[in-house]
Structure 1
Amino acid sequence: MSQARNKNKKMLFISHAEKDISIVEKFVDLLLDMGISEKSILCSSISELGVPLKVEIYDYLRNTLDSKGVIPIFMLSDNYYKSPACLNEMGAVWIKQTDYFFFLLPGFTFSQIKGAINPRKRGISLDCQSEHTLKNLKADLNHFHTELEDIFSLKPLQLWERRRDEFISAIQSHVPVTNPINMRNHEGFCIGQYTHEGSKVTFDTHTSTLCAYIDFHLTEAEICSAVIYTGERNLTRQWQAGAILSFDLKASASIKTLEVECRLRNRDSRISFPTSELWTHYQFRLSEFPADVSEWVALKEIKFLVRRKSSLIGHFEVKNLTIE
């Protein structure tokens, strides 16, 4: 009888990546402030709300997701999509066709949603960089609170707006950690040309090094480039925190100067720098690039440019490309 009751009991299942626990803990605190019981929240990274001791974790989670009363809440981020366990949880919910809520953690955008989550379903972005987005976030959290009040028959919370605003302030102080940029997704371009024989780009998986071979004899282009596709990344918070684009690079003697260029929301922004035949470490603050912080809502590509006037033929190598 108890087991049957538990099967139908309403419970929030917080599906999240362990690396995002600092934000998830604040979110759980908000749920508790609403009046939701600890027994109605399952969050595997918080010991008091996680899987009981001496219980096989995956069996417990599977049985929980099979329960009729479970309500999944997905906390989406780059870390989430890199976690096999998280993707398994997402798939289990998709198979059951269970209704769910989802939140986008700071630094993650709706355009990055993939897999079983329906991007057309209304979710809540926890990123707010303007008065307009802050107003929307407050309204979305109000609506979320109202839905949970109905689901769990909660008593009205007199201090709700204060608790909501404290939660928003707490998560806005969080700066997402940016992982090393994967340079496997790359391409060579001779800008303005239909063919790109003048720019051959490869990636050495053993040394994790991008190698670019430039030959302006094979193209009429004035600029050849090696382009790394980063996926759309919101780096406004990193820009505000003084984040640095860094990489190691060496070039043949014939290439004296290179430019590193970031393709942002509405413009390309670049910095020129001298090269060396020896491996050299380069660092540029995001704020050094001639672009307003609002442009960093969408970093799409990082490019290394060579101009014909600087060199007719040569090569360069790049490794350890990261933003931190």
Structure 2
Amino acid sequence: MAASIATPAGLRKVPGRRGQGLTALLYLSPWLIGFSVFFAYPLIATVYFSFQRYDLFTLEPVGLLNYRYFWQDEAAWTSIRNTLWLVVVMVPLRVLFGLGVAQLVTKLKAGAGFFRTVFYLPSLVPLVAGTLGFVFLFNPGTGPVPAIMSALGLPSPDWFGDPAWSKPGLTLLALWSVGDLMVIFLAALLDVPKQLYEAAALDGAGPWQQFFHITLPVIRPVLMFAAVTGVIQTLQYFTQAMVAARVASGSTDSAGSVFTPGYPDQSTLTFPEWLFQQGFRDFAMGYACVLALILFAVSMVFTLILLRQFRGLGEEE
């Protein structure tokens, strides 16, 4: 009878690199399928259609014609200026206002839960309903806000009917629904160790010194998250501008009515609105793909710049 010989653990058969690679691909397959179907293929198709004249029925290669037309499209450049205005003004104001409200709520000793709920509720209102209500509130003819301002002897501009005030009106709407940022900042502020404030107070640091040298460095990752997501959302700003312009202009969906976004005088025309107009109303799908690629590239550039800036602040500290 042959004696059985035990195989040492170190000499056991080890799967080859090919088997390990197949195992890794198996675990990664859900992500790879989702990435391919919902990102890679649409991106490649968008690049392909950007070189075509495509109206959902006919497909004709036109080379760089769509890209050359972009440089001559005045409405596109107007939408770019409006969108950049919103990014530069609306995003910082939302971050500062949300942080200020969160800081105020943390200092309240009584009724903090009530005020937290009051500030958060507007962010739960659907975008269309909230925009409708906001435009009616600021309507110069029937809205209560202009009436109150007039009673107090304050000037009451036509917020959504005057090109000079339309974008500030949209900014006020964004500040009204800042509750989502307020909750995020509130959680970050409550997570700052109190021992740091106590030690700083013993060293004679005042409230502002504590805020700039303790609070801001600790919540920097949350600030980065708020800034990056805010820029991306504002670059895709569509619903509020479209609804506000439609309501302020008195446009209806009756047969034969034509509404061009951007009322008044293209002051609320954003880049996504112009993309929508070209692709789904004028059926210039090839040119709309060019606009979509530009929006994607600009979003990536803004995100990389913000990430680099916040990373640089962290290294300096």
Please tell me whether Structure 1 or Structure 2 has the larger radius of gyration of its CA atoms.
2
Q: Which of the two has greater helix per residue?
A: 2
Shorter-chain TM-score bucket reads under 0.3
Q: What TM-score results when the alignment is normalised by the length of structure 2?
A: 0.27
Q: What TM-score results when the alignment is normalised by the length of structure 1?
A: 0.27
Q: Which of the two has greater strand per residue?
A: 1
